[in-house]
């Protein structure tokens, strides 16, 4: 198994956000993390990435404890696409993507022509090659997000962690990114990778045919294939309002929340950010 977590307690200092979390990600698999704001999704991701220490339990990459790995070793195994990124300097977009290649260079190594070609190919794959020489800090939020995804692709890791990768994208770019996620995980041969992503749109989990971890108050409320884990009952309980899972004539599942006032019987989800 590519990534495993056992009995994981997550949080900051003495403040625990979640307890006893266990999960695993297999090669070529898409895992979709869903849950309301404040339930612990980002904290879980930061712990899985080794950016903050676990307060209990273990995280392992290919059987090796992440706490025992150097940052360079982790960077060769996991790429990270954050929710947002404020650039400290006005880099060109291609240079931002090229930063994904640093994990494959030596201590004093400099990116060469092959690295620049890999970075540009990642931008071409996402349809943003025309942004290569643009000032990254002047791009729209959606364009910057696509650049960060290209950086993760250029990093060429077996696992990519994406924290709400479609949050600032328009409808067309959302569809493009979802198609790329499906292609990444479905690729044959040495390019096969796994993706674990968070989203606020359960329809995306259905579209990706993902395995779902449905999170509430720092715990996994339901997990399994999307068509088993995402039901009227589980979604209503987690989000605190009536949700119906319906199937279109084309066979696609869609989740339809009630726009009426919150039901007093459905429970109230956390909303602490």
231/239 Cα distance (integer angstroms): 12
* Angstrom distances, CA of residue 263 to CA of 214, 240, 256: 20, 7, 15
By DSSP bridging, strand 64-65 and strand 78-81 are unpaired
- Residue-wise pLDDT for 134-148, tens only, equals 999 898 888 888 899
Higher pLDDT, 188 or 222: 222
Q: Measure the CA–CA gap between 1 and 22, rounded to whole angstroms.
A: 13
Band the pLDDT of 234: cuts 50, 70, 90.
very high
Q: Are 83 and 164 in contact (CB under 8 A)?
A: yes
The predicted pLDDT at position 202 comes to: 94
Per-residue confidence (pLDDT) for residue 260, from 0 to 100 = 63
For residue range 215-225, list pLDDT tens digits in order: 999 999 999 99
Q: Is the pLDDT of residue 262 over 70?
A: no
Mean pLDDT, range 72-83, rounded to an integer: 90
Would you tell me how many other CB atoms lie within 10 Å of the CB of residue 49?
20
What is the DSSP code string of 143-173? HHHHHHHHHHHHHT-SEEEEESTTTT--HHH
Q: Which domains does the chain have, with CATH numbers?
A: 1-76+159-170+191-273 (3.40.50.300), 78-156 (no CATH)
Which residues, in sequence order, are CB contacts of 240 under 8 Å at separation 6+?
36, 262, 263, 266, 267, 268, 269
Q: Which of 12-26, 84-98, 233-247 has the lowest mean pLDDT?
A: 84-98
75 pLDDT above the threshold of 70: yes
How far is 231 from 243, CA to CA, in rounded Å? 8
**What is the H or E stretch that residue 198 is in?**
strand 194-199
The percent of residues above 90 in pLDDT, for the chain, comes to: 58
Grade residue 188 by pLDDT with cuts at 50, 70 and 90: very low
When pLDDT is averaged across residues 171-200 and rounded to a whole number, the result is 80
Mean pLDDT in residue range 103-111: 70
Whether 181 contacts 114, CB under 8 Å: no
Kindly report which listed range (91-95, 143-147, 167-171) carries the lowest average pLDDT score: 167-171
Cα(63)–Cα(249) distance, integer angstroms: 44
**Which comes out higher in pLDDT, residue 273 or 143?**
143
Predicted TM-score (pTM) of the model is 0.86
């Amino acid at each position: 198994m590519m990534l495993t977590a056992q009995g994981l307690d997550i949080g900051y200092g003495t403040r625990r956000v979640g307890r006893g979390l266990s999960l695993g990600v297999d090669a070529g698999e898409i895992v979709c993390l869903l849950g309301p704001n404040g339930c612990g999704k980002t904290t879980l991701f930061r712990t899985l990435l080794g950016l903050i220490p676990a307060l209990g339990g273990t995280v392992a990459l290919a059987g090796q404890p992440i706490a025992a790995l150097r940052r360079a070793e982790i960077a060769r195994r996991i790429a990270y696409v954050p929710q947002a990124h404020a650039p400290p300097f006005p880099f060109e977009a291609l240079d931002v993507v090229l930063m994904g290649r640093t994990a494959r260079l030596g201590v004093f190594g400099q990116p060469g022509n092959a690295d620049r070609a890999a970075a540009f190919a990642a931008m071409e794959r996402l349809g943003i090659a025309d942004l290569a020489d643009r000032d990254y800090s002047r791009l729209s939020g959606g364009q910057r997000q696509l650049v960060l995804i290209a950086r993760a692709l250029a990093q060429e890791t077996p696992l990519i962690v994406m924290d709400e990768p479609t949050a600032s994208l328009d409808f067309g770019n959302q569809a493009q990114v979802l198609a790329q996620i499906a292609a990444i995980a479905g690729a044959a041969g040495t390019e096969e990778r796994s993706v674990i992503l968070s989203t606020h749109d359960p329809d995306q989990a259905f579209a990706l045919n993902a395995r779902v971890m449905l999170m509430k108050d720092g715990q996994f409320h339901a997990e399994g294939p999307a068509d088993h884990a995402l039901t009227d009952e589980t979604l209503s309980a987690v989000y605190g309002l009536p949700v119906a899972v319906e199937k279109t004539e084309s066979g696609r599942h869609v989740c339809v929340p009630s726009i009426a006032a919150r039901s007093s019987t459905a429970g109230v989800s956390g909303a602490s950010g």
